[in-house]
Structure 1
């Protein structure tokens, strides 16, 4: 069994590429496979809730309704939907898109942390972690990525956009990613 673990941000793409090529070459020779990991590079994500200024006029409440039911989440299987989610919600995705499940693991401020499983290592967003395990050419990928209302993300062929976070719910938009 070969296992490769990466933890990186957008600044470490070159390290990831070099590590991937090295890992692939290591599997071609007589030498035992080794794990290659990029050094984590983090950009801080603000998770502190914003407090309105005293002079601001309060806006009418636009709090989202309760989270989606499992049948609503199943409507995202094709990777094209808009759904209201809470922490712990699991969104099943068609595995042909490179991701078979997205789980909301945290909502805070204007950010959401999602974990995923699938086969694709194409991931974009903030604070990305990826773990890839292969057994006889059958590779599985697990990872996590943070997206914000101002910074969308991508997992495989699914683009992720955080439209709104209010309290313990958020509106998550999934769309086919442009290739």
Structure 2
């Protein structure tokens, strides 16, 4: 692999929340590791989605706002936005908002939860498909994490093979949870 490919940015400048947030600036600063790097389980959208959704949740928390309300306000009204990347030519944040509301309802997001319990929400658009996750978690007194429930919704248009779509959503969810829970590989 040529050295230039090791430092190539994997940012998609039209990705959410671009064209929604004014004055958005994206920067890429590669870190040399000596290991080849590249996309994980698909193009960079998978890692970028995690970063974007984590940051949006941090902004909601830092500003004292409910994560669901913050995200829905950010998306605004349904509308078509020009989108030049995978799945374009348009992106509609209203479709994301509908999925986010659906998973929040199905996981009973508004239900009060006790100490050490919570629900994480995330949504993303890529390759013409819109997806959302809601994950109910708890942490015990020793810091042990338990994933109690996962709700996933997708709007990908007409599914030629619905079972294939379900398998992709299940596999992607399991892979993401494994990674978030410190999946490990050893390189010698």
TM-score of the pair, normalised by structure 2: 0.21
TM-score of the pair, normalised by structure 1: 0.21
**More relative contact order, 1 or 2 (CA 8 Å, 6+ apart):** 1
Higher helix share: 2
